[in-house]
Amino acid sequence: MTGAPPLGGSLVLHPGRPAPNIASTRAALASRLARGRRARDVPELLATVFRLCGDAHRLAAGHAIAAARGGPAAHDPADGVALQRDTLREHLRRLWLEWPPALAGRGAAEADLVALRDCPLMRRGAAAPAAAAATRAWVERHVVGQPADAWLAAWCADPAGALDRWTACADTLPARVLRAARDVACALTAAPRPRVRADAASLQALASSLRADEGFAAAPRQEGGAAETGPWTRLADATPGRWDTAWLRLGARLAEAVRLALPDADDMRGARWLRHGALALAPGEGLAWCEMARGLLVHRVRLEDPAAQDPVVAECDVVAPTEWNFHPHGPVAAALAQLPVDGDEAMVRVLAAAFDPCVAIAIHGAAPCTK
């Protein structure tokens, strides 16, 4: 992606080099900024700092603090709806603003940008029920160009075939940019890694690693190995691990946008598709997680005096999807090692777009894109 603020750091990718071939300048901002602050101020602070998916950070931080103060936050259906809307909004922004330059070598046309501006979901003040129906209609017109139910059914039955057939004939912006990147994206293989888990035992183990190693959040591991997370690893999906190319991972991101635009007919669509939760780890310590646009997001918080009326944060960790996917020995690193050291930069940009980092990237050694 481009346009990330310098405060967020960057990733330097080295195609053609054996892993480790990714260098990160990402700083532990959550730990540095939240420590010593009043707990009630931290969710809004982190939502502002991590503004790409700020609502997801606000939710995770707030639930982690609630868990640290005595137990998991009460289940509120409104949280699921907010997560659904925020995640769909973020997906649409990526499809319109980041996919065109990364996949097709040029930005979206003015008419396409106007369409995104007019998307009902981008009007935060709109009434939820009316906005939901209007957003579905917008997705059917501008994203898939057909009834969303039919498109999603075809994808579920045959992901690769359905994506091929749809991109060959559809004229929406996502179809056009995917069509431009098809050959490159299909050739970019990345063997599936285990998905990041959110069961109680896995979260306890994650918290233990965060306590013991201050650098763990920057290079997390699951049971000692690399893992991955994204729209293709959702907990509601009983058959993860099917996505082994950049093409299918890009398709999974598009399919999730369609799922989230549909009403909650079952657990595989709408607000029921994304999961979130919280866990009280110890007195004064809590952890919360949510599935957001880039994958599974985790916040851990420890309070100095949880019984105080206005407690202060002693420790705060954020484990973001970027750190899993762009781990020095993770799925992107493995795919980079297969590329030629002096290959086309476009290949690396398509690979990065499939895994969607939340910071800027720089590519070392590849030939500039000629598109």
Provide the whole-model pTM: 0.93
Mean pLDDT of the chain: 91
pLDDT at 240 over 80: no
Residue 116 has a pLDDT of 97
Close Cβ partners of 237 (under 8 Å, ≥ 6 residues apart): 268
- Structural domains for the chain: 6-363 (1.10.645)
Q: Which of 3-12, 71-80, 186-195, 248-257 has the lowest mean pLDDT?
A: 3-12
Residue 27 has a pLDDT of 81
Residue 1 has a pLDDT of 40
Local structure of 292: helix, strand or coil: strand
Decide the pairing of beta strands 10-13 and 360-363: parallel
Residue 153 has a pLDDT of 97
Residue 139 has a pLDDT of 98
- The CA distance from 39 to 60, in Å, is 13
Let me know the angle formed at the C-alpha of 43 by 41 and 47, rounded to the nearest 5 degrees. Answer: 120
φ/ψ of 74, rounded to 5, equals: -60, 140
- The CA distance from 154 to 162, in Å, is 6
Residue 28 has a pLDDT of 81
pLDDT digits (tens, 9 = 90+) for 282-340: 999 999 999 999 999 999 999 999 889 999 999 999 999 999 999 999 999 999 999 99
Q: What sign does the CA torsion over 216, 221, 226, 232 have?
A: negative
Joined tokens for residue 86: 């925020």
Mean pLDDT of 264-275: 92
Residue 242 has a pLDDT of 81
Provide the β-strand partners of residue 207.
none
Mean pLDDT of 229-248: 90
Mean pLDDT of 265-282: 93
CB contact burial 195-217 (16+ within 10 A = b; e otherwise): bbbbeeeebeebbebbbeeeebb
Joined tokens for residue 341: 């050291």
pLDDT at 371 over 60: no
Q: What sign does the CA torsion over 148, 154, 160, 161 have?
A: negative
pLDDT band at 3 (very low <50, low <70, confident <90, very high): very low
Mean pLDDT of 104-127: 89
Provide the β-strand partners of residue 22.
13
CB contact burial 154-181 (16+ within 10 A = b; e otherwise): bbeeebeebbbebbeebebbbbbbbbbb
pLDDT digits (tens, 9 = 90+) for 11-36: 999 999 999 999 998 888 888 999 99
Mean pLDDT of 251-273: 94
Mean pLDDT of 253-261: 97
Percent of the chain beyond pLDDT 90? Answer: 80
pLDDT at 5 over 80: no
**Coarse DSSP helix, strand, coil percentages of the chain, rounded to the nearest 5 percent:** 50, 15, 35
Measured CA distances, 130 to 8, 81, 145, 310 (Å): 36, 14, 21, 39
